[in-house]
């Protein structure tokens, strides 16, 4: 039982709450596994899939080793293209820069395409508190925005919502028919609602999937075309990107675009891969480059290559813990295995529970398109967090006891015999879910008649 302070987020407690609705948990699990299977099918259609993964990993390795040079090259080219470039050390500075641009142009309404960086910086809340009407135009993002919830998945923000729940949200906010849950009807309603927002907005904010140092251009990938429509109708375009989104050359795009959509949703490619190199005539284009802890992560030898992440969500879709606990249980902008690596870098105390939200099965590492050793980094974070004193005392003491047992053969044999005896004599105690958290979601196995060691010694002596 965790003795974590109640004010500190606890993934295990949030997961238990999610699992109270077993039907939702089962459906959530199956929906994400379906996407994982689609990923497998499309990946197998490319004979050189593993070579692509190796190439992407090596390109990103080169970027991280020379990030300062590539950023300077990229800024120079972007300025030559007529893009106004800004640098932000953290989320607060990023938000102030964006607000200054908005206020300079007297904008009250803006549209925004999906951007996990702006979620990370809590831009929507900041702008709303300053009287700015922000409309997320990605359908999944718009659903959770109307529901006043954060996204639960970096690619599928409202994957935790049933269609009936979406219907009720749209009925309350968009005036759709009460009880309507037909996806086509709801999608068309959202389309009509968002079209008016696009036409009346003076400013568009987008994220950035890839920034090309060689050309100073940006690439934004969407399936709905909302980034395109927002940017092409607005007088001002603000693109916000983390500094790790750089790739060296345009020719490298082919590697990443082939990997991104296949890994994310099992599509051959995203429906729209939009290239922005300069503002169109009469338009102003800004780019905000954000650090927000990335330099710190780059300096951590065991964790720096997590910055290779291209935000496809493949590790999330395959993770058995994420699928059964839901994205909000991670209490972090980026959920799942990759988020559990990135979050402690931002705040160890607040996110100390997240690296433990894993079975360390390695499935995340197996599907990562840029070959980040995710499960090894989760294991490394656990050691750092314990050494830094960021785990509950009960867990720290329990690990010390287990270390003593596992390092002492005699003590290990005594503990094993005691455990098997207890399970035979008092099976109810071992299966008591209040006393034994391990039994909460599983039936305890029948105790063996003898240990493997005993069996081995007996059979060896018989020979």
Q: What is the structure's pLDDT at 5?
A: 43
- 403-412 pLDDT per residue, tens: 999 999 999 9
Report the length, in residues, of the chain. Answer: 463
pTM for the whole structure? 0.89
Q: Which CATH superfamily is domain 46-292 in?
A: NagB/RpiA/CoA transferase-like (3.40.50.10420)
d(CA 376, CA 368): 13
Residue with tokens 């499935």: 363
Interval 452-461: pLDDT, tens: 988 998 888 6
Residues ≥6 apart with Cβ < 8 Å to 277 = 81, 215, 216, 217, 218
Low-confidence ranges of the chain (pLDDT < 70): 1-8, 461-463
Secondary structure in 3-state letters for the chain: CCCCCCCCCCHHHHHHHHHCCHHHHHHHHHHHHHHHHHHHHHHHCCCCHHHHHHHHHHHHHHHHHCHHHHHHHHHHHHHHCCCEEEEECCHHHHHHHHHHHHHHCCCCEEEECCCHHHHHCCHHHHHHHCCCEEEECCHHHHHHHHCCCCCCCCCCCCCCCCHHHHHHHHHHHHCCCCCCCCHHHHHHHHHHHHHHHHHHCCEEEECCCEEECCCCEEEEEECCCHHHHHHHHCCEEEEEEEHHHEECCHHHHHHHHHHHHHHHHCCCCCCEEEEECCCCCCCEEEEEEECCCHHHHHCCCCCHHHHHCCCCCHHHHHCHHHHHHCHHHHCCCCCHHHHHHHHHHHCCCCCCCHHHCCCCCCHHHHHCCCCCCHHHHHHHHHHHHHHCCCCCHHHHHHHHHHHHHHHCHHHHHHHHHHHHHHHHHCHHHHCCCCCCHHHCCCCCCCCCCCCHHHHHHHHHHHC
The residue to which tokens 């169109």 are assigned = 280
Measured between alpha carbons, how far is 171 from 147 in angstroms, rounded to an integer?
Answer: 12
- Distance (Å, whole) CA 408 – CA 373: 31
CA distance 358 to 442: 16
CB atoms near residue 173 (< 10 Å): 14
| Strands of the sheet with 203-206, listed across from one edge | 84-88, 284-290, 236-242, 203-206, 109-112, 133-136
| Tokens coding 287 | 């780019």
| Token digits of residue 420 | 């098997």
What is the residue extent of each domain of the chain?
11-38+319-391, 46-292, 394-460
Q: What is the dihedral of CA 237, 293, 10, 390, to 10 degrees?
A: -170
Residues contacting 397, CB < 8 A, separation 6+ = none
What pLDDT is stored for residue 424 in this prediction? 86
Query: Residue 392 has what pLDDT?
Result: 86
């Amino acid at each position: 039982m965790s003795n974590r302070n109640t004010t500190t987020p606890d993934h295990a407690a949030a997961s238990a709450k999610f699992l109270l609705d077993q039907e939702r948990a089962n459906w959530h699990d199956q929906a994400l596994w379906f996407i994982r299977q689609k990923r497998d099918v499309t990946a197998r259609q490319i004979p050189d899939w593993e070579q692509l993964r190796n190439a992407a990993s090596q390109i990103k390795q080169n970027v991280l080793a020379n990030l300062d040079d590539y950023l300077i090259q990229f800024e120079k080219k972007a300025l030559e293209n007529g893009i106004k470039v800004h640098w932000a050390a953290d989320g607060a500075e990023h938000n102030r820069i964006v607000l200054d641009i908005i206020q300079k142009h007297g904008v009250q309404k803006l549209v925004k395409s999906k951007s996990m960086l702006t979620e990370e910086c809590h831009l929507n809340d900041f702008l709303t508190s300053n009287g700015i009407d922000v409309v997320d135009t990605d359908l999944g993002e718009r659903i959770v925005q109307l529901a006043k919830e954060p996204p639960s998945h970096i690619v599928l923000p409202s994957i935790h919502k049933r269609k009936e729940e979406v219907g009720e949200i749209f009925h309350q906010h968009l005036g759709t028919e009460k009880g309507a849950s037909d996806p086509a009807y709801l999608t068309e309603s959202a389309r009509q609602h968002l079209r008016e927002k696009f036409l009346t907005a003076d400013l568009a904010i987008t994220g950035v999937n890839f920034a090309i140092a060689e050309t100073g251009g940006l690439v934004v990938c969407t399936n709905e075309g909302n980034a395109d429509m927002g940017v092409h109708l607005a007088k001002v375009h603000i693109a916000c990107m983390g500094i790790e989104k750089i790739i060296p050359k345009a020719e490298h795009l082919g590697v990443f675009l082939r990997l991104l959509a296949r890994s994310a949703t099992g599509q051959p490619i995203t429906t729209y891969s939009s290239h922005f190199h300069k503002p169109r005539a009469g338009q102003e284009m800004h780019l905000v480059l954000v650090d927000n802890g990335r330099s710190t992560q780059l300096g951590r030898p065991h964790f720096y290559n997590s910055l290779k992440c291209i935000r496809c969500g493949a590790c999330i879709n395959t993770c058995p813990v994420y699928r059964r606990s839901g994205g909000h249980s991670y209490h972090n902008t980026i959920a799942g295995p990759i988020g559990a690596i990135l979050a402690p870098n931002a705040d160890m105390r607040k996110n100390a529970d997240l690296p433990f939200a894993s079975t360390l099965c390695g499935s995340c590492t197996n599907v990562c398109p840029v070959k980040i050793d995710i499960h090894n980094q989760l294991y490394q974070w656990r050691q750092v967090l314990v050494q830094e004193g960021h785990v509950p005392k009960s867990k720290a003491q329990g690990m010390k006891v287990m270390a003593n047992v596992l390092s002492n053969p005699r003590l290990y044999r005594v503990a094993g015999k005691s455990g098997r005896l207890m399970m035979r004599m008092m099976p109810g105690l071992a299966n008591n879910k209040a006393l034994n958290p391990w039994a909460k979601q599983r039936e305890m196995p029948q105790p063996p008649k003898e240990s493997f060691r005993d069996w081995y010694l007996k059979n060896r002596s018989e020979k």
